[in-house]
Amino acid sequence: MRPFTHINARTVKQAVTALAQQNGAARLNAGGTDLFGLLKDEYLPAYPDMIVNIKTIAGLNYIKEDKNFLRIGALTRLADISKSSLLRQRYAVLADAAHSVATPQIRNVATLGGNLCQDVRCCYYRYPRHIGGPIQCARKGSGACLAVTGDNRNHAILGGKRCFAVCPSDTAVALTLYDARLLVVGPGGERQIAVGDFYTPLKNGLRSDEMVREIQIPRLPEVPQQTFLKFTLRKPIDFAVVSVAALVSQATGICTEARIALGAVAPGIVRADAAEKFLRGRPLTAETAAQAAELALADARPLSRNAYKINIATALVTRALLGQKECEIPPDEVKAYNPTELSTFHRCSSSTPPGYATVVESGTATP
């Protein structure tokens, strides 16, 4: 790490004032889980001169519902979101998406605002400075996107332009499904940005002197069927290869509302408008769900190595629509690692017939 100035902001105004004064050379620190990667790997051309700690701002950690909106403070921790009974009952996709992030340790410090504003995970973009220097690319303002002709297995299949990195936020998928918007504060006042419009290929919609203060979800009149699915190689820790959220309301066997949001397939979160339209007024069956999924990916234009993401996304959309929540999300309580339960040790005699005289040293089962 290099030296930097560190200040504790007490108010949102103090924080954005500091950002404005530093003119792009300051960074906010909420949970810090994404920021520390930048500070350690120094993958950006410029190193922050100042870190503005916003954990010291009181009153930005809340989940509350009023007549029109469900409001979540930007500093609300992912752990609190995943455990909130209000969200679990009515906005389960957001609770599940928050729960799917990283590990319990990270969810205990990471915030919703930080999850939405985190930088992309592109392996070229994040290449560490200490192994021969950072890699220049379109997102850093010079050169082309290296993923286009390089290793693009995790890159965009939809909507890439100049930069093909995907939006890594899981909670953004849920929020886009709910048509949520961000309340953003800058030196000149507040403005609102729809989460679905927040991400563009080269950056998110936040100016360098702005911060997210609140996330607002239009109140759901009823509790629809809703499902969040995230495909990863490993259950914990990993960022999504593809994530999908779907919401369906039905009356007399016919879809009155259908929404589909896809994450990690594009620079932003993709709402599958054509697929949603297709489903409204139709019955939800395995067949219509599959047709909707085809429609959701109809515009996909894969790069050399990421066409497989279309298959995964198609499968996930179908399953999410049908409410097939088979990707069980592991519980928060991690069982203590007990080496004697990890495996079963069969100490066998070679002189006895196979299958007999098996002495089990630990564990219980033996065939």
Partner 1 sequence: MSDEYRFIGRSTRRKDATEVVTGATRYVNDLKFAELLHGKVLRSPHPHANLKSIDKSRAEQLPGVKAVLTWEDVPDWKGGTPRITRVLDSKVRYVGDAVALVAATTEDIARQALSLIDVEYELLPAVFDVDAAMQPGAPQLYEQLPGNIVTPGMPAFGPNSLREVVMGDVEQGFGEADVIIEGTFGYENIPNPIPPEPPGAVALWEEPNRVTLWVSNQASYLDTIILHHVFGRKVEVRTHGAACGGSFGTKLLSWQLQSHAVLLSKATGRPVKLIYSKEEHIAAFVLRPGSRMQARVGMKKGGTVTAVSGKWLVDTGFYSMTTQAQVAVGCGEIQLMTRCANWDLQTAVVCTNRNASGGVRGFGGQELKCSFIPLLCQAMEQLDLDPVEFIKKNYVKPGDGYFWRDGAWYTYRGIDYSDSMEQGAQCFGWKENWQGWLQPSSVAGTKRRGVGVGVHGNADIGEDSSEAHVRLNPDGSVLLFSCITEHGTGQRSNYVKMVAEVLQVPMERVSITDADSQINPFEYGPFGSRGTYAIGSAAIRAAEDARRQLFEIIAPRLKARPDELDTADGVVFVTADPDRRTSWRAMGHERTILGYGRFDPDFTLANCMTTFVEVEVDTETGKVDLLRVVNATDVGQIIDPPGLEGQLNGCLGSSGIDSALFEETVLDDRTGHILNANMIDYKWRTFSELPSIDNVVLETPVDSNRFKAIGVGEVATSPGPMAILMAVSNAIGVWLHEYPATPERVLKALGRVKARSHTGGAA
Q: Which residues bind partner 1 (CB under 8 A)?
A: 1-3, 41, 121, 123-124, 126-128, 130-133, 135, 146, 148-151, 153, 160-162, 164, 231, 233-239, 241, 300-308, 310-312, 314-316, 330, 334, 337, 339-340, 342-351, 354-355, 361-362, 366-367
Residue among 41 and 65 whose Cβ is closer to partner 1: 41
Question: Shortest approach of partner 1 to residue 206 CB, angstroms?
Answer: 24
Question: Shortest approach of partner 1 to residue 162 CB, angstroms?
Answer: 8
Residue among 149 and 192 whose Cβ is closer to partner 1: 149
Question: Shortest approach of partner 1 to residue 180 CB, angstroms?
Answer: 27
Rg from Cα positions in the chain:
23
Residue among 190 and 332 whose Cβ is closer to partner 1: 332
Residue among 252 and 338 whose Cβ is closer to partner 1: 338
Residue among 58 and 336 whose Cβ is closer to partner 1: 336
Question: Shortest approach of partner 1 to residue 93 CB, angstroms?
Answer: 20
According to DSSP, residue 139 is labeled G
Residue among 13 and 347 whose Cβ is closer to partner 1: 347
Could you give the strand order of the β-sheet that contains 5-8, starting from the edge strand earlier in sequence?
5-8, 50-53, 26-29
Contact (CB, 8 A) for 267 and 275: no
Nearest alpha-carbon partner for 55 in 211, 261, 169:
211
Residue among 252 and 343 whose Cβ is closer to partner 1: 343
**Phi, psi for 288 (deg, rounded to 5):** -70, -35
Question: Shortest approach of partner 1 to residue 262 CB, angstroms?
Answer: 14
Question: Shortest approach of partner 1 to residue 37 CB, angstroms?
Answer: 8
Contact (CB, 8 A) for 27 and 49: no
- How does DSSP assign 170-194, residue by residue? HHHHHHHHTT-EEEEEETTEEEEEE
Residue among 62 and 308 whose Cβ is closer to partner 1: 308
How far apart are alpha carbons 145 and 279 in whole angstroms?
Answer: 36
β-pairing, 254-263 vs 242-251, is antiparallel
Question: Shortest approach of partner 1 to residue 213 CB, angstroms?
Answer: 29
According to DSSP, residue 14 is labeled H
Question: Shortest approach of partner 1 to residue 270 CB, angstroms?
Answer: 14
Q: State the alpha helices, DSSP H only, in 222-299.
A: 273-279, 286-296
CA 14 to chain centre: 28
- How does DSSP assign 65-133, residue by residue? E-SSEEEEETT-BHHHHHH-HHHHHH-HHHHHHHHTSS-HHHHTT-BHHHHHHPPP--TTTT--TTTT-
